Amino acid sequence: MPFVHVYYPKSQGEEKELQKVSEEIHKSLITYFNIPAEDYFQLFSPYDLGQFYYHFNYLLEHKAKRTDKMILVSITCAPGRTVQQKTGLYQAIADAFNEHFNIPIENIFITLNETHRENWSFGQGKAQMISIKEER
């Protein structure tokens, strides 16, 4: 049930590249969070240079630096994943952006926002995840 929102520089990414990155993020979620393949909800939002402000090397190792190609991946999901699942997911997503967008992994900023299942509606005015949780 993750919802993924990706903010990327407007100058980066054509539709074909965005689709490939979206697919790679989804594969990573399937692998590390064990989600069903049909659980696919992602939004890509471009931003203009000068609209995203950040420190060039905060918490980066080995004097690495961020560039003006900073990517923010915000994932909202239900709680319950281990630290190992989360860190594996972060690395897989960073690697996907590096491979398909040629963006250094230093430029990939990922946030994970956990929200309880009753806080989700997938349409029809229903909280579908409550009944799924009760069935388990």
Identify the active-site residue in 2, 9, 46, 79: 2
- Residue in this structure with the two tokens 């993750």, named with its chain if needed: 2
**What DSSP string runs through 48-79?**
-TTS----SSTT-STT----S--EEEEEEE-S
Residue pair 95/31 in contact by the 8 Å Cβ criterion: no
Largest CA distance in the chain: 50
CA distance 90 to 110: 7
Q: Is 104 known to be catalytic?
A: no
> Would you name the residues annotated as active-site residues?
2
